[in-house]
Amino acid sequence: MDVRKKKRKVLLMGKSGSGKSSMRSIIFSNYVAKDVRRLGATIDVEHSHVKFMGNLTLNLWDCGGQDAFMETYLASQRGNIFSDVAVMIYVFDIESREVERDLDTYNAIITALKEFSPNAYVFCLVHKLDLIQAEHRQRIYEERSALIRSRSEHFAIDTFGSSIWDQSLYKAWAGIVHRLIPNLTVIERFLQAFAKRIGAEEVILFERSTFLTVTSVSSEVGDLNPIYDRHERLSNIMKAFKHCAARNTHTTPASAGFVVMHTKTPQFNVFLGRFTDNTYIFLVVPPGEAAYNCAVLNTMLAREGFSKAAAMGHGDGFPLPAPETPDGDVSTSNSDSTRG
Amino acid sequence: MGLRRSGKSSIASVVFHKMPPNETLFLESTTRIQKDSIHSFMDFQVWDFPGQLEYLEPSFDLEDIFGSLGALVWVIDAQDDYLDAVARLNRTILTVQQYYPNINIEVFIHKVDGLSDEYRTDTFQDIVQLISDELSDAGYENAPVHYYLTSIYDYSVFEAFSKVIQKLIPNLSTLENLINTLSNNCGFEKTYLFDVLSKIYIASDTRPVDMSCYEMCSDYIDVIVDISELYSWDHPDRKPRGEQGQEAESHVVLHDETMIHLLEMNKYLCLVSVIRNPEAKEKKGLIDMNCRTFQEALNDVFSRSWEQDQDPEPRITKASGQPDE
């Protein structure tokens, strides 16, 4: 397969009514949480292709979860469904009354997966956590994930608690996506150096259409931020605003977007802008008008460097110069010229 | 005030306590008068009356209730049989009118989200007709009663409350003049002066109100407030790197070149404007400067109004002194 076009097969499975299609619609099709009531039951398998980060295409198989379908997946369609799987996302309904039966089904699926694609990543989402009282959430989630782990054969699974009504959904999916991105270390190394050079407290890359956190780096000071779920909350905030903008400019949420956003407050400055074709960059820098403007200019210049490198065909989609070239030659020269 | 279960406490919670509308289902019914002080650019108290309370009985002290009242908001449930509510409202108006003729009476025809457009207008006209007929029968013509269609599920209740509050602001016309001057000179499509806490706007330019602009502006305030929450933590190691103004300032450019510009005016107020002119981006500096001038003027207006000074007019000329061309 062409390296530049990476297709990853993602299976979305779970019991009927556990919320698979709901979350898919919210994350990838710009639904808002209350719209998902309109969704009907998924019949058989719904395929969708989600372009993510340019070269990475997620081939999403949303598998209807009614028992009859489950049986065909495990029997006649076994090879078709479970081969070449890169990721399987299994959704558990926290409210389910037949936990033991759910786990049996899960185990059967896992066994089939082991047979056809033993190297797949498995993510389990314990979903609809909003229905549990806040003080019990953590405990119940942990109990449940321990149970799930015990039935997962050799797979090292990741579990997330999630709910479509708050930012936890974004946390879960950002975690999943984070695993799928090729050459992530290169990107992170670049961002780290870039953040240091412009003196940013935090740099976050968001995917353009889903506003999921691709990756983020923060300085020593930025690490002290007491709010740990800030990335998910940002995704949530920005996506909500995108919906509002779409409603009021008479476009679809998919085509609405931001060009730039600048925010200056006495405690911090924030810049949000397009970085590559599929990403937004989000910079948090300490107050100081001149330093802020410098940082913004440098970001713009770094972006140009990126797209130039992409045009010349370096890297695969996330257009970086080869890892051994220090990122310095893009940003150092630029910072000199802007400061002058 | 209003009959029980007409939505009074829900309105108060949504507007002043940022409660999500669907959570108001869980509000208990109010059993005693809830006094809620709002400290903002001007301090006011919201009194939430239980619907079943018979406050016109002699055991209640009318002076205590209506003495310092600026506006009386009467909520009518449009999805219910409203004859009762209207009759009671009329009784209240007539009583109040004898002693306190200066109170603004504001009628919220509430819960209209459940009605179809046509039915909504019918209900509106019906209620207006009922009230004004009965009042004029009682020999009371041209009552200062205003009507609003509201719902907590969209922005109409904020809009209505904004109008109510605006009537209580002593120098509203000065503010409006200032904003008009500013937005004409800077080519703003629509400008609002918001109270950040409640997202009520206390003044706007006098162009026709466009719901979509209001929605975007008020949501944009949310974005900024939420982001500020995430990054405004205190730590001795966080040091500024250079000079910067004390007020928050922000702008965003959307996909269709619309720009939303926000500038904090003082602790409670911020100015939000929608600019549809694609060239505005290059003139950001000028816009900023004009807004700062407006800010000075605004603070002058407020400090003067506290000194009971009557003449803030000269300030307007100052604001228009720097046209944006």
- Does any domain span residue A318? no
Token representation of residue B284: 């950001």
Which chain A residue lies closest to B276 (C-alpha atoms)?
A: A249
Cα A142–Cα A145–Cα A149 angle in degrees, nearest 5: 140
The Cα B43–Cα A198 span in angstroms is 44
Is A334 within the bounds of a domain? no
What is the rounded distance in angstroms from the CA atom of residue B284 to the CA atom of residue B291?
10
Residue A143 is assigned to a structural domain of this protein: yes
Among A160, A179, A198, where does a domain finish?
A179
Residue A175 DSSP one-character state: H
Q: What is the CATH number of the domain that holds A111?
A: 3.40.50.300
* Per-residue pLDDT at B263: 87
A39 and A172 within one domain: yes
Q: Which residues of A touch B249 (CB under 8 A)?
A: 262-265
Helix, strand, coil shares, percent, chain A, to 5: 45, 25, 35
Enumerate the residues of chain B whose CB falls inside 8 A of the CB of residue A237: 222-223, 226-227
Mark whether A12 and A37 lie in a shared domain: yes
Whether the CB of B254 is below 8 Å from some CB of chain A: the reply is: yes
Q: In sequence order, what are the residues at sequence separation of 6 or more whose Cβ sits closer than 8 angstroms to the Cβ of residue A146? A: none
Q: Is residue A322 part of a domain?
A: no
ipTM of the complex: 0.74
Are residues A149 and A196 both part of a single domain? Answer: no
pLDDT digits (tens, 9 = 90+) for B189-204: 888 888 888 888 888 8
How near does any CA of chain B get to the CA of A47, in Å? 29
Indicate the pairing of strand A158-161 with strand A121-127: parallel
Q: Find chain B residues with C-beta within 8 A of A272's C-beta.
A: 252
Containing structural domain, residue A294? 184-312
Q: Using CB atoms, pick whichever of B212, B240, B254 lies closest to residue A259.
A: B254
Residue numbers in A near B291 (CB within 8 A) = none
Instruction: Tell me whether residues A233 and B213 touch, CB distance under 8 A.
Output: no
CA angle A189, A195, A201 (to 5 degrees): 130
Give which of A204, A219, A227, A265 to mutate to test B binding, by max B Cβ within 10 Å: A265
Same-domain status, A58 and A95: yes
Pair (A282, A169) in one structural domain: no
Secondary structure letter of residue A165 according to DSSP = T
Please give the order of strands across the beta sheet that includes B104-110.
B71-77, B104-110, B145-149
Residues A168 and A220 in one domain: no
Q: Check if B237 contacts A (Cβ < 8 Å).
A: yes
Whether A241 and B223 lie within 8 Å, measured CB to CB: yes
**Is B233 close to A227, i.e. CB distance below 8 A?**
yes
Name the closest residue on chain B to residue A239, using Cα atoms. B223
CA distances from A30 to A244, B127, B250 (A): 12, 40, 26
Q: Which of A121, A155, A179 is the last residue of a domain?
A: A179
Residue A94, Cβ density class (10 Å: 0-12 exposed, 13-18 middle, ≥19 buried)? buried
In this structure, what DSSP letter does residue A275 have? -
Domain CATH code at residue A252 = 3.30.450.190
Tell whether A340 is covered by a domain: no
Structural domains in chain B plus CATH codes: 8-167 (3.40.50.300), 170-232+247-305 (3.30.450.190)
Q: Cβ of A261 and B251 within 8 Å? A: yes
The domain boundary, picked from A130, A146, A179, lies at: A179
**Nearest CA-CA partner of B148 in B133, B134, B167, B135:** B167
Q: How far is A163 from chain B (nearest CA, A)?
A: 17
Residue linked to tokens 């310095």: A328
pLDDT tens sequence for chain B (325 residues)? 777 777 778 888 888 877 777 777 777 777 777 777 777 767 777 777 777 666 666 666 667 777 777 788 888 887 877 788 888 888 888 877 777 777 788 888 888 887 788 888 888 888 888 888 888 887 777 677 888 888 888 888 888 888 888 888 877 888 888 888 888 888 888 888 888 888 888 888 888 777 788 888 888 888 888 888 888 877 777 777 777 777 888 888 888 888 888 888 887 888 888 888 777 777 888 888 888 888 888 888 877 655 444 443 333 333 333 333 3
Q: Are residues A299 and A188 in the same domain?
A: yes
Q: Are residues A223 and A275 in the same domain?
A: yes
Query: Chain A: nearest CA to B226, how far in angstroms?
Result: 7
Number of folded domains that form chain A? 2
Asked if the structure places residue A328 within a domain, the reply is: no
Same-domain check for residues A171 and A213: no
Residue A206 and residue A148 share a domain: no
Please list the ranges in chain A whose pLDDT falls under 50.
Answer: 1-4, 313-340
Predicted confidence (pLDDT) per residue in B122-163, tens digit:
888 888 888 888 888 877 776 778 888 888 888 888 888 888
Q: Is residue A109 part of a domain?
A: yes
A189 within domain boundaries:
yes
Residues of A in contact with B239 (CB under 8 A): 286
Same domain, residue pair A153 and A226: no
Shared domain for A233 and A212, answered yes or no, is: yes
From chain B, the residues in CB contact with A291 under 8 A are: 241-242
The tens digit of pLDDT for each residue in A210-240 reads 888 888 888 888 788 888 888 888 888 888 8
Sheet with A279-285, edge to edge strand ranges: A213-218, A202-207, A279-285, A269-274, A258-264, B249-254, B259-264, B269-275, B190-195, B201-204
Instruction: Judge: A234–B220 Cβ closer than 8 Å, yes or no.
Output: no
